[in-house]
Amino acid sequence: MKNAIVVDSPNSALAIAARTRVQFQKAQILYSSSYSSPKKLCIELIEGDFDNVFFGWRQALYEIAKSPGASSCLSLLRGRSSLGVLVPDYIGVAESHFMKESELIDYADYYLVTNQELLEIYSTGGYPKKPSGLLHDIPNLELLEATYRLNLSKNDRKAIWVGNSKWGRRQGFLDHKGFFRVVKPLNDLLRKHNSCFDLQIIDSSKLLVSQEEILRSMSGSSYILQTSTSEGTGLPLLEGMALGLTPISTSVGVVPEILVGSLNQNIVDRSPESFHDALHSNLDSPRATREDIRELFRSYASEAMKEVIFSEHKAFQSETPEVTRFGSAKSRLEWQYRFWKDQSKV
């Protein structure tokens, strides 16, 4: 069977998870940013003669369906390939995005979600069809293990936050990652409290840092913080746990599934005071050893590796549903921007 996974760009979290997964589930990865239009991506998928195409970046399928130049191409693609979609976040749960998400689900033969809560929401939320199952994200295991083996010295009073403070703005979500509500005021609080902890902030909206550099910075820390409103997964949290960092997080993404036992106490309210208190309580009375935390991650990754991406049959209808076809100027410009940005790195 020939399989393809479509993601957004080579450095995204979706791409990291896809590259890890193809190490044990054979597939070719296509980066949407390498194509100057949705139609060219669709043509590549047809010419690749794939039995299964999985859109890890669901916006690519949506833009193929909606683009005047590519929508007919989608009918050809659906005639020869089983199409799957990943729902990796909570954007489609918002009332303002429900119709778009429903259309998207209708274009595919099946779809998967990245955590148990999303599985429940999409199974009971009135979408055109229920998800076919779970596909948990997996970070770069080889790079994480290589970084861990460096055995870099840790600062017992250092925490780290990794994210994009501007994530979701284009979709109408403000401070979705909790940067302004939690991270910045927490940093101020730590300084006022006799600089009790050092908080390193890696904000990809301001400066792009390589994955290797991020993981090395994590290795020198003792705590990984996640302050989001919602997360499909929370990849930095998983990466931190793989390196043995103590996780402190709001109850989002896979957190309720992975922070179990004594670490359940590290699921906190979304406020700087809650994170400050949790840092001190963990310093005074550690809730898990470094190896305990790594074992929780390994258990998560082991189960995630068993999950299947591709459906070898068309699970739902074979005809392409009727869609309102349009190509907004904004959509075309954004696609072109991604393409030229990708080309400038070649």
- Domains annotated for the chain, with CATH where assigned, are 3-135+307-343 (3.40.50), 141-303 (3.40.50.2000)
4 pLDDT exceeds 80? yes
Question: Which pLDDT belongs to residue 345?
Answer: 58
Residue-level pLDDT at 326: 45
pLDDT of 248 strictly over 70: yes
pLDDT of residue 130: 95
- Higher pLDDT: 98 or 334? It is 98
What percent of the chain is modeled with pLDDT above 70? Answer: 90
Whole-prediction pTM value? 0.89
Question: Is the separation of the CB atoms in 143 and 215 below 8 Å?
Answer: yes
What was the pLDDT predicted at 318?
Answer: 46
Mean pLDDT on 156-176:
88
